[in-house]
Amino acid sequence: MTFYEKARISGAPIFAVAPMIDWTDRHCRYFHRQISRNALLYTEMVVADAIIHGPRERLLSFDAAEHKVALQLGGSDPAKLAEAVRIAAPYGYDEINLNVGCPSDRVQSGTFGACLMLTPETVAACVAAMKAVADVPVTVKCRIGVDEQEPEVALPGLLDRVLDAGADAIWIHARKAWLKGLSPKENREIPPLDYEIVYRTKQARPDVFIGINGGIQTLDEAAHHLEHVDGIMLGRAAYQNAAILADVDHRFYGAAAEAADWGAIRDRMMAYAEHHVANGGRLQQVARHMVGLFTGLPGARRYRQILSTDAVKAGAGPEVIAAAFAAVDFDGAREAVGA
């Protein structure tokens, strides 16, 4: 039984941080894991061809502390996706997710992402090929439709095919994507959200794990959506103010209510950054994901300034993280969680 089946049967929700290109790299995920022990974390989308032909260790390796972590793949060739799954297997991901929602030009040029909504038979073939070689859940993240598609027709049509092909769960970004005329940023903001169609999709498929994504800003909003679906996925809200993750374990996973130990989180991130720098990395690669942590708190502006300016300097080390945390009034931190 997969963790998705267990969640659906038990009624326990899954809270996830969305895959975001250029954002949810291994350093970001390690940081988020220090704040929430239970949130499901996703990689950036990794193209199957890159895994097959590129630097596999750089693309696929991650710290064991990141579990539970899902690998999101991009592609439209079933054989290549299956090969990418085989290559990724030894790295130990907990889930493989197929991107059927990204509307960027570079994704469209590779004939995958949101444009696959137009060819559900291809998505089904990809899922079937991935399932044939995967020993973890294979899932799909999609939109409710693209361009002139009617979501009430397009979304059920896609789901029928991919579920028949063996998909273990569906994550739905509750917006259409416009493949021409809107930038990726505009595609996250301009097409209207339609949460109700995701709710109806779940009602029509009570035996399928359905998770919702798109425009969700707070844990209160997340809790409301979970009255209708099985899972909730936050993207930019979780990234831009990661303190919101500090209450996830309590609200959605039954952990005891307790204030985040920001001092311990600081120390773990300093140790992680020290190891990264010692192995040839740059502090900024880690620190850039931490900049929005204390949004709205006294001292947050100075915190951001320190991380943004000092972390990029030659020779910068974990002492920059210590200095940034020292600028924050932690007495106000708890008030920001879930706000």
Q: Residue 77 and residue 143: Cα distance in Å, rounded?
A: 20
Quote the pLDDT of residue 23: 96
pLDDT in tens, 25-77: 999 999 999 999 999 999 999 999 999 999 999 999 999 999 999 999 999 99
* Contact criterion met (CB below 8 Å) for 166 and 131: yes
Name the amino acid, one letter, at 211: G
* 273 beta partners: none
CATH fold for domain 262-336: Four Helix Bundle (Hemerythrin (Met), subunit A) (1.20.120)
Q: Is 75 annotated as a binding residue?
A: no
Structure tokens at 250: 């309590």
pLDDT in tens, 215-253: 999 999 999 999 999 999 999 999 999 999 999 999 999
Q: Is 99 annotated as a binding residue?
A: no
**pLDDT of residue 338 exceeding 50:** no
Whether this model's pTM surpasses 0.75: yes
Token pair 């991130």 is found at 269
Q: Residue 174 and residue 188: Cα distance in Å, rounded?
A: 10
Task: Give the residue numbers marked as catalytic.
Answer: 102
Quote the pLDDT of residue 336: 45
CB atoms within 10 A of CB 31: 23
Q: Is 173 annotated as a binding residue?
A: yes
Quote the pLDDT of residue 329: 87
pLDDT in tens, 174-209: 999 888 777 777 777 778 999 999 999 999 999 999
Task: Give the phi and the psi of residue 142 in degrees, each rounded to 5.
Answer: -135, 175
pLDDT in tens, 246-286: 999 999 999 999 989 999 999 999 999 999 999 999 999 99
Quote the pLDDT of residue 105: 64
333 pLDDT band (50/70/90 cuts)?
Answer: very low
CATH fold for domain 3-253: TIM Barrel (3.20.20)
Q: Where are the domains of the chain?
A: 3-253, 262-336
